[in-house]
Structure 1
């Protein structure tokens, strides 16, 4: 029988215990510092005003409301401007709601906001109001009134020009339409602006749309302008630009 050298014989000395390797002390991990939020730039609360130009038909109500909540220390002044002089008016404004096209685009920042469909206005008794929408062919032979403050420009329609002098304003043109002597084509917001009980309107299928945009001079980009841009684009007060 083979000797088992791993075991001590009976009555012999016990085998000494194996020496234990010294344990390294546990190293303490230094916790990483928590990420700190980016510092919020200070808000200039100096009382002042923000001048916003408004073309006829534009409805900035929801943006004005948001501005008053976010910038209570900055009064917003709404300045009516005519489309014919909207570019020149921008020289004296912080920003403006305008209609495209706009001259000198290279000198401006322009953000298109929405397109307005064109509508045909006619006397409430006109046969044109018997349908929900109007096709170009439906206007064959109709007298198309184009006021001096027209915003759509030349329209390729089978209409004819009136035999009376040019009417100066869209409001007066609507009053003339009420007499039944012709029709008028404008963006829908202007039809609503100049509403009359004796005049109605219908969308013109395939007609030229009118784009409303926010514009301001590049050299006049201020923190207040950037804040209003954020309001128009729906950014919150804590959103990055």
Structure 2
């Protein structure tokens, strides 16, 4: 049963781990797992829309993933380009606004052009903000924000850094999910996840379905989000009140 809209987290972030292992278990090339992962991601986007989640952020390609075998990296780039052409019409139909978050300098001109076009084509949508972190790293994000402020001659404070982050267009994640059974966040949203609730799923990403998402949301509902305060101060309100997690305008 889908979780009701009144208790879902506004912003869900996901480390989509396990594509390669899913393929290896089936004696398939690793790229086959990534292709299956794209199908799982499409399913996840639909599930978020159905549950009234406002923001979905996924870790698609980390800055460290360049160290993987070259054929896997090139396959991922090609898969990204093909997926963009295929999915953008569906995203528009469902009111999904697409953002690519990460360092684009190392990407090919073809990929950069495709990313920009996909963002432009979906910019008027507002039902779900869908952030795809590609060639992204949490340390890179903090460093680029500091560099941006320094180049402007602005003071570096928590507030100014927050506003200079690559994810400044959305509130910080309420719930961060990692699939694949690993218990770490792997340089993902290091700044933004300061007060996120963490959920680790043993399911490999291609196996992560609506029931697994509902399980994560159900666990989220049991958490008391205190944001540094005591339980008495928050009045046992649990995680249903996310008003503390709002960025300054």
TM-score interval, normalised by the smaller of the two chains: under 0.3
Task: Please identify which structure carries the higher helix content.
Answer: 2
Task: Please identify which structure carries the higher strand content.
Answer: 1
Q: Provide the TM-score with structure 1 as the length reference.
A: 0.25
The structure with the larger Rg is 1
